[in-house]
Structure 1
Amino acid sequence: MAQARGHSIPQQLNPQHHRTVLDVVAHSCREYPDRPAFTSFGRTLSYAELDRLADAFAVYLQRNTDLKPGDRIAVQLPNLIQYPVVLFGALRAGLVVVNTNPLYTPREMEHQFRDSGARALVIHKSMAHKAEKIIGNTDISQVFVTQIGDLHGFVKRTLLNAAIKYIKKLEPPYSLPGAVCLRDALEAGLGLKPSAVDCATGDPAVLQYTGGTTGLAKGAVLSHGNLVSNMLQGCKLISQVEGHWSQTTVAPLPLYHIYAFTISLIVMETGGHTVLIPNPRDMDAFVSELKRWDVSCFIGLNTLFVALCNREDFRQLDFSPLKITISGGMALTHDAADQWQGVTGCEIMEGYGLTETSPAVAINPPHGVRVGTIGKPLPQTEVRIVTPEGTDVAPGDAGELCVRGPQVMVGYWQREKETAAAFTDDGYFRTGDVAVQEADGYLRIVDRAKDLIIVSGFNVYPNEIEDVVTSHPDVVECAAVGVANEHTGEAVRLFVVSRNETLADTDIQAWCKERLTAYKIPREIIFTHDLPKSNIGKVLRRKLKDADQGAEVA
């Protein structure tokens, strides 16, 4: 089964007969050379410029390093226009890209570099001091360093880079002997064409590492076929939207995350323009950037929608061009969906996916959004909902969601046992998520199996509690976790961010009592200023669960 996964792209989806990600990029650059492709920090690359710069990087890799097709190159960059240049240049040289979170600690970097066997690294200068600490313990022999302004004109480049280094002091000193400035590498290869590499549909394109919440992070091997299939599945669905939905897509989520990565490919396939937001946590700068564009597509997640809708400057923007909003990464609450539609006039199409599925499995279709569900499976995607013993559940019952389709990963990098355990005997990937399929095919994720809270033998799903509590007018966001209880086995602890300082735990419990069965009502409520989140804004329930039982979160 492992050999079959990721090695083909269904012809029903593929009118352009793409075989690889390289075919997608070549098609877009050929068809839309003068259109804007990516923007960051005020610099826009056209498709023609992207094509030339990607070629230049590929040429440098082929002529000035000893890297060979199939070697891994780690890319550790925030949302800069350098990212697509490096990505597509590396793929053109036949390399496998290892997407690496810029917020990683040196320990996490070392694990990922060693596990992937990366031989090269592209890193932003502000993170180079972390690489210095661990690079001697890896196989990396070639390092490229870049700064924010490297692809801007001379004046702006100088000002941007100086501001980051000397004013914001975000570039600690480092020593990486032999490191090459990415800008110099690109200049050396400009105007030249790389040698063609033999790239097949089933070849690995990206090693996408899981979050590692159940142990050390594993690399999901995503082939060219996986990524192109998921791109085409998304294109087929979103093409139902009238008008040029991808004219200006805002991407606040990082491209090294598979959600934004694949959406960017969908946008490219249609000749669209992606505006990259390097730091969505800087809400002032984020909203200021939004003012510059007639945004036709917005991709985000629950916490981001809530944060934006609570800002007056965001509510004053013109949303008339907005045709699509897509949500993923975490469950979308009814309250967040209602707020967003009330402010923007645009429904949120919630989708669902995993790193191992490139990522999309299902999404709410245009003109058929059903809040509280993740929509229907994408074209050419099969799902099963099974009991712990692996048998199909009765219609309407909850069970583990299992998925089979062309977007499902080849397997985990160099982990045969973990790969085998992740699949059923008939080739379905076990998601670990508890789901229900409705009679008309719509899917509902009840919760992550590992987040399930069992109170006196009853299953309690955090998503349900959070959806109820965030509908309270004084609650901004919340997160529910299970904690040990000598009487009930586990009890619900709820962390709440409130906009009303006088809101009390008894108010929340009274609200829940009207809407939830007694055993689901939080026993303990902790008010906090914010919730711990991942770099993409996903609430980290595990950090809350592991916190000191008696400590408040501030």
Structure 2
Amino acid sequence: MPNCPEYVVILLGSISIGAVPTPVNNNYTAAELARQLRDSKAKLLVSAAALDSNVTSCLECAEDPLLVVAHGTSRIPGAFNIFEILKDPKIPNADIVEVSNKDLAIMPYSSGTTGPPKGVELSHGALSVNILMFSHPSVFCGSFADDKIQNIYLSVLPLFHIYGILVVCMVGLHTGAKLVTLPAFEPSLYINTLKKHKFDMLHLVPPLLNFLVKSPDITRETLSSVKSMLVGAAPVSPTEAMAFKDKFSEDIFIQEGYGMTEVLITNMTPSANERIGTSGTLLPNVMAKIISTDTGEDLPPTHTGEVCLKSPGMMNGYFQNESATSSVIDKEGWIHSGDVGFFDEDGFLKIVDRTKELIKVKGLQVSPSEIEDIIRQHRRVLDVGVVGVSHERFGEAPKAFIISKEEVSEEEIHRFLEDKLAPHKRLTGGISFVDALPKTASGKLLRRDLKNMTL
């Protein structure tokens, strides 16, 4: 479903009775939805009634019967209406189930460093410790300690994304914030909501930050109540951050964070030490090291290499996928992030590159290999390579380099992908037809060389 108050009720209610919710992008096609339902072995699907057609197509190819609960009046035979359930006094509340910290609590999907999305097993302990770490006074910029002020958070970042789930929803509720949900980003609705509610903290991704800076309809007065903002999910341009301060107020504290679904949040700008252009310092109880991308040896401060992390809030592993788990978590328990960066002498992390293949579109993960597999299904495509290219509004966008068996147009490829990929996975970065793709002797695609072809 899109963001709404009932989403939070269902998410936290499921966790409290020992069930394991697996959030799904509500923009997914029926095929993408079916894949996650099969992979997660889901038993029940909660969906917006407006998405009935997608759900119906998905149910037709489901391996096992699925119980459907609709957010609204559904046309699907046998579907329950969530509003009728919540309002019916005859339906008893379920008993809260005792669970251990190690028990699975929630299973968002992530592509990790490569490959298609996989179920990330996050325990009750992992969620709890992250909420507590993030809420620590040395980190949290909110004013919840002052009982005369209540934080108000704008929940427009999708609740299927770990940023929306953990940082906005769970940390917000834990610290006493009021959540105002928006079903999606729509400029006029977003602006009107900013004007109506006096938000003291904003949760942003770089495209939203860019929108605030560029929109003439958002003035200094619109954000007069804002004291701080947190930007995450993708690197922030220092130029854009300073443009925000110039337009609105130099006193607005800009926090940046770093993490990944597999390890949740590991770094944050300390509440007393703004450092624009970095991802902040380690949260309590989190360990990190930088290793050489060539030798795997540990590197000292200021040296650039792959970021490796250990945290009491990290995942148990990928759901029923030992090979993918072992490719990310080494024998000593370190998660290899696939991000390249360094810690400065003050302990601030700076991300400069990545070894992982993922494309970040509006802060959302996109797996190039997933797109490639679908494009190869086109009868005129011989081979394809997909990489991320810079995009003014989205940060990055997928671009395909295609070797065709016979003549095929860009338009035909775009049409072919329409009902197979969610909008953020489509080839917004363009299509180029080529005679060859750069590969190793063993046939592995050299994405870095392919990316250089876009420069």
Which TM-score applies when normalising by structure 2?
0.75
Could you report, residue by residue, the CA deviation over 1:256-310 in whole angstroms, capped at 9, with x for unpaired residues?
A: 1111111121111111111112221x11111011111111111011111111221
Residue 332 (structure 2) aligns with: 426
**Per-residue deviation at 1:390?**
2.3
Percent of aligned pairs with the same amino acid = 28
Contact 1:352–1:362 (Cα < 8 Å) also in 2:
yes
2:201–2:229 contact (8 Å) kept in structure 1: yes
- Following superposition, the deviation at residue 195 of structure 1 comes to 2.3
- Structure 1 CA distance, aligned partners of 2:322 and 2:316? 11
The alpha-carbon distance between structure 1 residues 299 and 495, as it changes in their structure 2 partners (threshold 3 A), is closer
How many residues are paired up? Answer: 373
Post-superposition Cα deviations, 1:402-458, rounded to whole Å, max 9, x if no partner, equal 000111111100011211221122111010000111111111001221369xxxxxx
For 2:126, the equivalent position in structure 1 comes to 226
Give, in angstroms, the shift of residue 316 of structure 1. 4.5
Which residue matches 1:398? 304
Q: What is the alpha-carbon distance in structure 2 between the residues aligned to residue 209 and residue 494 of structure 1?
A: 23
Corresponding position of 1:299:
203
Q: Please list, as runs of the form range in 1=range in 2, the aligned pairs for 1:21-100 lying within 5 A after superposition.
A: 77-100=1-24
Residue 331 (structure 1) aligned to one of 235, 249, 256:
235
Supply the distance in 2 between the matched residues of 1:96 and 1:348 (Cα, whole angstroms): 34
Structure 2: runs of 5+ lacking an equivalent = 361-367, 369-386, 394-422, 435-453
Say if 1:190 and 1:398 are closer, same or farther in 2 by CA, change over 3 A.
farther
Q: In the alignment, residue 213 of structure 2 is paired with which amino acid?
A: C
Native 8 Å contact 2:113 2:338 kept in 1:
no
Shift of 1:215: 2.6
- Aligned amino acid, residue 420 of structure 1: S
1:196, 1:86 → 2: CA distance?
Answer: 14
Take 1:289 and 1:206, find their aligned partners in 2: how far apart are those partners? 30
Aligned-partner Cα distance in 2 for 1:423–1:544 = 33
Which letter maps to 1:367? A
Q: Which residue of 1 aligns with 2:345?
A: 439
Letter in 2 for 1:279: A
2:194 maps to: 290
What residue number does 1:383 align with?
A: 288
Could you say which residue in structure 2 is the equivalent of 1:110? Answer: 34
Deviation at 1:367, TM superposition (A): 2.6
**Aligned-pair distance for 1:336?**
1.6
- Greater shift, 366-375 or 193-202, is seen at 193-202
The 1:246–1:374 alpha-carbon spacing in structure 2 relative to 1, beyond 3 Å, is farther
Where does 1:156-195 land on structure 2 (aligned, <5 Å)? 176-188=76-88, 192-195=92-95
Alpha-carbon distance in structure 2 between the residues aligned to 1:493 and 1:207: 26
Residues 117 and 138, structure 1, Cα contact 8 Å, conserved in 2? no
1:139 counterpart = 2:64? yes
Say yes or no: does 1:547 pair with 2:431: yes
- How far is the alpha carbon of 1:326 from its aligned partner? 0.3
Is 2:245 the partner of 1:341?
yes
Distance 1:240 1:257, change over 3 A: closer
Question: Do the aligned partners of 1:401 and 1:435 also contact (CA within 8 Å) in 2?
Answer: yes
State the SS of the aligned residue for 1:349: strand
Equivalents in 1 of 2:131, 2:96: separation in Å?
A: 24
- Aligned with residue 363 of structure 1, among 257, 260, 268: 268
How far apart, in 2, do the equivalents of 1:208 and 1:201 lie?
18
SS of the aligned residue for 1:97 comes to: coil
Determine which structure has more spread, i.e. the larger CA radius of gyration.
1
Q: For residue 222 of structure 1, give the secondary structure of its aligned residue in structure 2.
A: strand
* 1:313 counterpart (205, 210, 217): 217
Amino acid at match of 1:323: K
Structure 1: 5+ residue stretches without partners: 1-76, 151-173, 453-461, 464-480, 482-491, 499-537
State the one-letter code of the partner of 1:362. Answer: N
Greater fraction helix: 1
| Distance verdict in 2 for CA 1:87–1:494, change over 3 Å | closer
Q: Secondary structure at the match of 2:303?
A: coil
Deviations 1:434-487 (A, max 9, x none): 0111111111001221369xxxxxxxxx99xxxxxxxxxxxxxxxxx9xxxxxx
User: Does structure 2 conserve the Cα–Cα contact (< 8 Å) formed by 1:387 and 1:399?
Assistant: yes
For residues 240 and 494 of structure 1, the distance between their equivalents in structure 2, rounded to whole angstroms, comes to 34
Q: Distance in 2 between matches of 1:221 and 1:83?
A: 20
State the Cα distance separating 1:220 from its structure 2 match.
0.4
- CA 1:425–1:409: 2 relative to 1, 3 Å: same
- The CA distance in 2 between the partners of 1:406 and 1:336, in whole Å, is 33
Q: Report the 3-state secondary structure (helix = DSSP H, G, I; strand = E; otherwise coil) of the residue aligned with 1:275.
A: strand
**Dislocated runs of 4+, deviation >6 Å:** none
CA deviation after TM superposition for structure 1 residue 188, in Å: 2.9
- Report deviation, 1:238: 3.5
1:65 alignment counterpart: none
**Which residue among 237, 258, 261 is the counterpart of 1:352?**
258
**CA distance in 2: counterparts of 1:141 and 1:135, whole angstroms:** 7
Does structure 2 conserve the Cα–Cα contact (< 8 Å) formed by 1:143 and 1:179?
yes
2:49 and 2:321 map into 1 onto residues whose CA distance is 32
Superposed displacement of residue 384, structure 1: 0.7
Q: CA deviation at 1:125?
A: 0.9
Give, in whole Å, the separation in 1 of the partners of 2:301 and 2:234.
25
Residue aligned with 2:45, SS:
strand
Residues 139 and 269, structure 2, Cα contact 8 Å, conserved in 1: no
- Pairing partner for 1:119 from 43, 48, 73: 43
1:140 Cα offset (Å): 4.2
Distance between the aligned counterparts of 1:421 and 1:496, measured in 2? 30
Instruction: Compute the RMSD of aligned alpha carbons.
Output: 3.0
Report Cα offsets for 1:221-280 as digits up to 9, x if no partner.
011111111111110044465565861111220111111111121111111111112221
Q: Which residue of 1 aligns with 2:226?
A: 322
Residue 208 of structure 1 is matched in structure 2 by 108
- Tell me the alpha carbon deviations over residues 167-201 of structure 1, each in whole angstroms, 9 at most, x when there is no partner: xxxxxxx8522111111121235784422322221
- Structure 1 residue 494 displacement after superposition: 6.7
Question: Deviations for 1:308-327, whole angstroms, at most 9, x for unmatched residues?
Answer: 22112212434332122001
AA paired with 1:78?
P
Q: Distance in 2 between matches of 1:422 and 1:364?
A: 26
